[in-house]
Every structure is written in structure tokens, then in C-alpha cells.
């Protein structure tokens, strides 16, 4: 189904604006051609994007799929090592319509009275899939993407110290990708905004779930330069200046780069996160991003106010969150008789 989309040009959304003039040129409707991921990935990854790294991929199993979301999560092998590949049909954007109508081939499926359906083959460049590759993937990655039943856990402050903290210290995902971003070893050309202050600063960039072709599913993350904050649980009133800085400058940068005001944003932290290095999610209001439900997402504005009323709010409160059936942390809670 075609949805009406903003005419905003997304061509250069992943690059830093050099000046206001350039920014307004890029956002003007007449310059609406959208960069493909291929074009976007030129630069530091330009060479890599030329070759088909997936040509040797051997499917082991489909971890999950969704007809509605038009996604499939596949576990397989690449060079005898585990890999996870996520394929996703990308949305149809308004600026592609003219070319879709003029340059596609149509095969009639059926016609009845005023109704007809066709199989439409769009030109290849308008018919892309977004492919996300995790390679080599750990067992934890494979589990993360497997469809699973979930259970809600109520974690007291003591539970955090005795169950969760020891578990995440042993078992959490590597945050090397985060350090690569902070050190400009990866994705540097995608940075939208940076405050380099070591205490209050952060890097704002597109989340890898966002293809950056339309604002409807806008998704950015702000990653703190401070490396000693794992999650919400580590925050006290001491961190209010950091959180306020991320909130204010993140919103300002998104307004400047994407013309989206704060009233169109959902700004939140996950508890539990997958990656234990403090980061904040900025998504477009109305976009049902994975993990934006009340059992996992904590609005940054609420986090700030909770810390203003009680400096140790997140150190002392019971926090609820969902855990998937095969999550090792769930087993730990069960073993401790908490579930």
C-alpha cells in the first residue's frame, strides 16, 4: 500500500551539513533524488560495498519473519562461521512514484468491473531490499533475532546487584561497534551531530535499523562519550547535565537536519538494553520501532524528572522488563526463585 510521504529530500541526510545554505538546498523538494544505500556507503566502506559478501551464505534456518513488516531474519553460515542476515523490503517513497509509474512493467493478475490487480516490476534501483549482516554472529545474536515468547521480570535493586549485574558483566554483547563510532573508526560519515565533551558529550547518528530514505521511520541513536555508564541503573542526579545535554542538543540537531520538531519525536532509553553503553533512542512519533513499548522504553523526559525528584531513583526502584524464553538472564531469575 502506498502511503503519503513527506517530500523532504533524504539524499544527504546521513552527512553533516556544512552550512545552512547547503542544508536548505538539500532539503528543497526540487533536489529530491534519494541516495541508495550503495551510494551512501561510498567513502570509508566504498570498496566493501562493491562485492557481494552474501554470495556464499548458506541458510541454516529462518529465525523469524513477518509478512506485515516484510522482513525475514535468517541464520546461516558464511565461511563456516555463524551469520545472521536480516532482509527487509524498503518503503515506497513519494519521490519514486513518477518513475515507478512510467518505467515499470505490468502483468495483469485479474480484472473485474472497476477492479484490477497487477504484478508490477519496478526498475531494479527502486526495488531494493535492506540487508543487515551480523558476521561472525554469536549464539546470543542468533537468539536475539529468534521469535520467542517473553516474560515480564520485576527487578528490585537487590536483584540488579545479585542477579543482573553479574550476568551482564559475563554475558553481554561486545560494544566494540560503539567504540568504533566514538573513535571515528566506523560510520564517521554518518554522524549527524557531535558534542565532543568527554563528560557531557555524545555522538548522534542514524541507527542501523533506519535506511534514511524517509522520515516516517526516522531512528537515530545518541551514544555518550562517557564509557562507564552501562544503563539506566547507573544513572543518578549527577548525570542530569549529561541527560539534559543529550535531550536538548539531540532535538536541536534533528530539527536542523530533518526539519522534525521535538513534538514529533519519541526520545527514550531501553531497559534492559542489548548493548551496555549508555545510549538514547530518537524515533519518529507514530513509528512503532521495535522495543518502543512501555515495558522496555523509558522516556528521557521521565528519566530526567525522576532523577530530579529522587537522585537515586534508578538505583533503588524496582524496574520491570521483558525477557525472552531462552535468555540466560531469565534462567538466573528463575533459579533465584523470582519467577
The distance of closest approach from Cβ of residue 275 to ligand M7G in the complex, given in angstroms and rounded to an integer, is 4
Q: Is 279 tagged catalytic?
A: yes
Are 321 and 152 in contact, with CB atoms under 8 Å apart? yes
Are 254 and 248 in contact, with CB atoms under 8 Å apart? no
Whichever of 22 and 39 has its CB closer to ligand M7G, that residue is: 39
The residues near 17 (Cβ < 8 Å, ≥ 6 apart) are: 23, 26, 256, 257
> C-alpha cell of 33?
533524488
> C-alpha cell of 312?
537515586
The distance of closest approach from Cβ of residue 40 to ligand M7G in the complex, given in angstroms and rounded to an integer, is 12
Whichever of 57 and 275 has its CB closer to ligand M7G, that residue is: 275
The distance of closest approach from Cβ of residue 133 to ligand M7G in the complex, given in angstroms and rounded to an integer, is 11
CB neighbours of residue 249 within 10 Å: 18
Rounded CA gap, 272 and 99, in Å?
A: 44
> C-alpha cell of 44?
570509508
CB neighbours of residue 19 within 10 Å: 8
Whichever of 167 and 275 has its CB closer to ligand M7G, that residue is: 275
The distance of closest approach from Cβ of residue 325 to ligand M7G in the complex, given in angstroms and rounded to an integer, is 16
Q: Which residues bind ligand M7G (CB under 6 A)?
A: 177, 187, 205, 207-209, 221, 270, 273-275, 291
Whichever of 24 and 174 has its CB closer to ligand M7G, that residue is: 174
The distance of closest approach from Cβ of residue 89 to ligand M7G in the complex, given in angstroms and rounded to an integer, is 18
Residue among 279, 281, 298, 312 flagged as catalytic: 279
Rounded CA gap, 161 and 157, in Å?
A: 7
Convert 82-120 to b/e letters by CB count within 10 Å (16 or more is b): bbbbbebebbbbebbeeebeeeeeeeeeeeeeeeeeeee
The distance of closest approach from Cβ of residue 31 to ligand M7G in the complex, given in angstroms and rounded to an integer, is 25
Whichever of 132 and 237 has its CB closer to ligand M7G, that residue is: 132
CB neighbours of residue 78 within 10 Å: 18
Task: Return the C-alpha torsion angle 134, 135, 137, 142, nearest 10.
Answer: 40
Phi, psi of 221 (to 5 degrees): -125, 145
> C-alpha cell of 26?
538539500
Rounded CA gap, 151 and 320, in Å?
A: 10
Whichever of 187 and 234 has its CB closer to ligand M7G, that residue is: 187
The distance of closest approach from Cβ of residue 173 to ligand M7G in the complex, given in angstroms and rounded to an integer, is 8
Rounded CA gap, 207 and 217, in Å?
A: 11
Phi, psi of 298 (to 5 degrees): -120, 115
Whichever of 84 and 221 has its CB closer to ligand M7G, that residue is: 221
Task: Report, as residue numbers or ranges, the catalytic residues.
Answer: 279
Amino acid at each position: 500500500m502506498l502511503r503519503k510521504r513527506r517530500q523532504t529530500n533524504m539524499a544527504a541526510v546521513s552527512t553533516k551539513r556544512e552550512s545552512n545554505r547547503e542544508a536548505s538546498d538539500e532539503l528543497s523538494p526540487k533536489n529530491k533524488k534519494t541516495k541508495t544505500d550503495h551510494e551512501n556507503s561510498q567513502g570509508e566502506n566504498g570498496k566493501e560495498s562493491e562485492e557481494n559478501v552474501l554470495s556464499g551464505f548458506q541458510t541454516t534456518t529462518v529465525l523469524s519473519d513477518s509478512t506485515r513488516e516484510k522482513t525475514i531474519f535468517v541464520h546461516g553460515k558464511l565461511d563456516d562461521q555463524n551469520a545472521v542476515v536480516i532482509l527487509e523490503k524498503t518503503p515506497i517513497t513519494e519521490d519514486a512514484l513518477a518513475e515507478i509509474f512510467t518505467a515499470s512493467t505490468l502483468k495483469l493478475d485479474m480484472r473485474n468491473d472497476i477492479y484490477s490487480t497487477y504484478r508490477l516490476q519496478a526498475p531494479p534501483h527502486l526495488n531494493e531490499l535492506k540487508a543487515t549482516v551480523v558476521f561472525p554472529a554469536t549464539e546470543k545474536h542468533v537468539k536475539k533475532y529468534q521469535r520467542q515468547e517473553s516474560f515480564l521480570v520485576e527487578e528490585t535493586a537487590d536483584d540488579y546487584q545479585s542477579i543482573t549485574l553479574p550476568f551482564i558483566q559475563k554475558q553481554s554483547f561486545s560494544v566494540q561497534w560503539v567504540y568504533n563510532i566514538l573513535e571515528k573508526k566506523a560510520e564517521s560519515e554518518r554522524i549527524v551531530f557531535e558534542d565532543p565533551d568527554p563528560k557531557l558529550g555524545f555522538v548522534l547518528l542514524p541507527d542501523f535499523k533506519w535506511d534514511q530514505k524517509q522520515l516516517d521511520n526516522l531512528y537515530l541513536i545518541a551514544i555518550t562519550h562517557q564509557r562507564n555508564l552501562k544503563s539506566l541503573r547507573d544513572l543518578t542526579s549527577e548525570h542530569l547535565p549529561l541527560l539534559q545535554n543529550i535531550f536538548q542538543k539531540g532535538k536541536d540537531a534533528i530539527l536542523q537536519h530533518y526539519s522534525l520538531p521535538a513534538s514529533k519525536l519519541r526520545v527514550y532509553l531501553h531497559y534492559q538494553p542489548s548493548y551496555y553503553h549508555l545510549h538514547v533512542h530518537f524515533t519518529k512519533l507514530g513509528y512503532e520501532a521495535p522495543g518502543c513499548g512501555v515495558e522496555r522504553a523509558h522516556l528521557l523526559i521521565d528519566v530526567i524528572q525522576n532523577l530530579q525528584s529522587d537522585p537515586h531513583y534508578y538505583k533503588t526502584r524496582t524496574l520491570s522488563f521483558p525477557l525472552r524464553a531462552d535468555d540466560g538472564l531469565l534462567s538466573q531469575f528463575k533459579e533465584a526463585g523470582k519467577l
